[in-house]
Every structure is written in structure tokens, then in C-alpha cells.
Amino acid sequence: MTCVEAERLLDSFVDAELPGPMLLEVARHAGSCPTCDRAVREMTALRGSLEQMVHAELEGLDLSGVWPAVEQRIGRSARRGAWRRLPRQLPMWGAAVAAVAAGALLWFRTPPPEPVRVTHVRPNQAVIERLVSSGGARVGIMKDRKYGTTLIMVSAPGEDAGQ
């Protein structure tokens, strides 16, 4: 196997998507070729660092301060009105505490975490910025989910239909 052949298969090799014998062949080549070996290591490292980045983003979200803040606010409101508590006013105070709690809950509510954007660029990613078809041709765009390969399919009618 040559370096050019191996290079074409490296992506699938790292994803372990090659059939067994070919997987073995690429591994053998990489074992004897420092350039391809380095390429495999770089691709593996890139994937690892992407995974780490996503995990770090998720672990970094701190929601621990929300509930203690709400509890503290509720407790303070309850203590302030304790000496006036009368059986007749219980429903009113209950409603007030509930309102304060709801207010505090809204006030201290942490903003929803921003969606973690994973900018994993696929090797065959293509962004179509403009597309024009003419001559009666019908155009469809398809994308392979696994590899991100884009296909622009053109159905070309005969010369007579196009004119």
C-alpha cells in the first residue's frame, strides 16, 4: 500500500469503518510509514480533543447556586412577617410568600445554558452559497449524514425540452 492509497483511507480507518483486511493493511502501512502514522495520530488526537471540549462545556455549567438563593429569599420573607401572623391573615400571607417565592424564583433563575455548538467540520463539508439552474434542468441537493458529502443532482431534459 502506498501513502496516497493510505491517505484516502485514513478517515475511514480512524472511524474503524474499513473491512477487516483493509483495516489491517492500513495499520501495517502506518506502522512502517512515519508520515501516515503521524497523520493517524493527529486525526485521533483531534477527535479526542473535540470530545474533551464538549465534555468540558457540559461540566462547566454551574446550577448549584440557584436553589440556595431561592431558599434564602423565602426564609427572609417568612421571618419578616412572623410576628404579625394572625390566623385570619394566614391565607393572605401565604399568598404573599408564594408571590415573593415566585418573584425570587424568576429573579434568581439562571439564564438557560446556551446550546453547546460543536463545530466539528467534516472532511467533505460543502456549503452552497448560491445555486442557479437553467435550461429546464431540475436540481436537487442531497447530503450524506455520515461523511457530510454533498451531491447536487441535476436532471437534464433533452435538448428539445430545454429550449
Binding site for other proteins (CB under 8 A): 8-9, 12, 22, 121-135, 137, 139, 142, 144, 146-147, 149-159, 162
Q: Report the SS3 class of residue 33.
A: coil
To other proteins, the closest distance from the beta carbon of 123 in angstroms equals: 6
Return left, alpha or beta for 83; rule: phi > 0 is left, psi -120 to 50 is alpha, else beta: alpha
To other proteins, the closest distance from the beta carbon of 19 in angstroms equals: 9
Neighbours of 28 (CB within 10 A): 12
To other proteins, the closest distance from the beta carbon of 119 in angstroms equals: 10
H/E stretch holding 139 reads strand 138-143
- Compare residues 93 and 147 and give the one whose CB is closer to other proteins: 147
Contacts of 84 (CB under 8 A, 6+ apart): none
Q: Are 40 and 16 in contact (CB under 8 A)?
A: no
- Compare residues 26 and 70 and give the one whose CB is closer to other proteins: 26
CA nearest 109: which of 56, 47, 65? 65
- Compare residues 106 and 128 and give the one whose CB is closer to other proteins: 128
To other proteins, the closest distance from the beta carbon of 12 in angstroms equals: 6
Write down the residue that cell numbers 423565602 correspond to: 74
- Compare residues 71 and 144 and give the one whose CB is closer to other proteins: 144
What is the distance of C-alpha 32 from the center of its chain? 36
- Compare residues 26 and 100 and give the one whose CB is closer to other proteins: 26
To other proteins, the closest distance from the beta carbon of 121 in angstroms equals: 6
